[in-house]
Amino acid sequence: MSSFRVGEALVSGKGGTASGRRASLSQCVREAVEAYFADLNGHPPANLYEMVIREVEKPLLSSVMQQVQGNQTRAAQMLGINRSTLRKKLIQYELNG
């Protein structure tokens, strides 16, 4: 895949465009949250902030750990967080396998 600026994701295939147009990560999150509200059918959401963070953070950590082949020091540097914080998050999301 070609390189892209931080904060952008390739939009293609199902749910995207065949043209390969890039959408910002924030736009993808906005669309997902709006779809979530639509699915609620007027019912009030609960713990929305926690849900969104969990849904974004787990795949982020998983992808970074895969990219650095499990090297927690490199992953923490890449993420800009302390290695002990990374370890806690990997345990929290059961990604320490």
Q: What is the pTM of this model?
A: 0.70
Distance of CA 36 to the CA centre of its chain: 16
58, 95 in Cβ contact below 8 A?
yes
Write the CA distances from 7 to 10, 23, 26, 39, 72, integer angstroms. Answer: 10, 9, 7, 26, 22
**What is the extent of the structural domain holding 18?**
1-45
Domain count, the chain: 2
CA distances from 68 to 4, 7, 74 (A): 19, 19, 6
> What is the per-residue pLDDT across 9-47, written as a single tens digit (0 to 9) for each?
444 444 454 456 788 989 999 999 999 999 999 899 989
Per-residue pLDDT, 21: 73
Which amino acid does the sequence have at 20?
Answer: G
Q: How does pLDDT run across 44-97, given as a tens digit for each residue?
A: 998 999 999 999 999 999 999 999 999 999 999 999 999 999 999 999 999 985
Indicate if 41 and 59 belong to the same structural domain.
Answer: no
11 and 36, same domain (yes or no)? yes
